[in-house]
Amino acid sequence: MLRIRFPIATALIAGLLALLWLDYGTRWKVGCHLAFLGILVLGLREFYQLIHAHGSFKPVQTIGIAGGVALCAGEWISYLPALRDFTIGFWGINGLILSLILFLLIAYHAPPELRPDALGNIATTLFGLLYVWFLGSYLTKIAMLEYVKAADASRDIGLSCLLLTILTAKFADIGAFLIGRQFGRHKLAPTISPNKTVEGAFGGILMSVLVALPLQVGLQIPFLDWKEILIFAIVISCLGQLGDLAESLLKRLCEAKDSGHVIPGFGGILDVIDSLLSAAPAAYFLLLLFSEPSDFHG
């Protein structure tokens, strides 16, 4: 397994660094938004196929995925200076899109033969958007942060914060896997994920701290000191591992081993981003909490 996972993980990290390098210093972070758009489409497709395969509900995949693409575009448009100045912003645009998605879902189930399962189908379609799009959108929110007090205008604090968030969360996965495999004795959640251990969970926290502290030395994010980085690493590691457990429970409920087979050695897109989905909102919150209210645009 490691022989497959290691080169794939290395390629994924290299791709992430290349993407951040291409977006570095740019205002609109086109690469990050396009990457998230691709992840969103694949992630929603996997989610809806998991639910559909279980047989209880049939989420409306076309409306869900099209709605997710529209919500991504709506978020990107919300960063236009004119809209931000008029406080229309993220929810002003995406509130309209969400209401349209809901109307389309209700209209789709208008025929009498579709009505008996309408509520479950609508709920699972919207749950997919909440899980993949809404939680994941905080990654692009982090990327779009602009630190107005930066002495060097070319420094891209948003992408530095995004790199810190992703590596802290994903190295928690790596630490939990390696230490749990070597030293794991006590099951963490045996009815959800039998292979996860308490020792592995603490190993994940330790790995996150060991990665985040030296990473901050290189990134020099100005509003984070070592104590705040320590808190950041512990919180992101814990929530990332919780997200991994949540996705494991989702797969167990749907009687599936993996969410998909897109990435050899890892499974599907959701198997790779599960920890990021749960960690991203907390990372965004902590970054704002540790800074001054006037520090950011975005």
Specify whether 213 is located in the same domain as 260: yes
Same domain (yes/no): 210, 244: yes
17 and 81 assigned to the same domain: no
Q: Are residues 116 and 243 in the same domain?
A: no
Phi, psi of 196 (to 5 degrees): -85, 140
Whole-angstrom distance, CA of residue 63 vs CA of residue 60 = 6
Mark whether 95 and 221 lie in a shared domain: no
Interatomic CA distance for residues 166 and 168, integer angstroms = 6
Q: What is the pLDDT of residues 130-174, one digit of tens each?
A: 999 999 999 999 999 988 765 554 578 999 999 999 999 999 999
pLDDT of residue 248: 93
Quick one: 241 and 258 in the same domain?
A: yes
Q: Which of 100, 123, 143 is the C-terminal boundary of a domain? A: 143
Question: Are 94 and 47 part of one and the same domain?
Answer: yes
200 plus 270 within the same structural domain: yes
- Say if residue 164 is in the same domain as residue 279: yes
Number of domains in the chain: 2
Distance CA 266, CA 271 (A): 7
pTM exceeds 0.85 for this model:
yes
| pLDDT 10s digits, 97-141 | 999 999 999 999 999 999 999 999 999 999 999 999 999 999 999
State which of 128, 143, 158 marks the end of a domain: 143
Smallest CA-to-CA distance from 255 within 56, 23, 29 is with: 56
The answer on 158 and 74 residing in a single domain is no
Gap between the Cα atoms of 158 and 24, Å rounded? 9
Centre a 10 Å sphere on the Cβ of residue 209 and count the other Cβ atoms it contains.
19
Please say which residue of 143, 173, 199 terminates a domain.
143
191-221 per-position pLDDT tens digit: 999 999 999 999 999 999 999 999 999 999 9
Domain match, 296 and 156 both: yes
Rg (CA), the chain: 20
- Let me know whether 286 and 165 are in one domain: yes
User: What would the two tokens of residue 88 be?
Assistant: 């229309």
**52 within 8 A of 58, measured Cβ to Cβ:** yes
Q: Of 173, 182, 241, nearest to 249 (Cα)?
A: 241
> Whole domain around residue 168: which residue ranges?
1-25+147-298
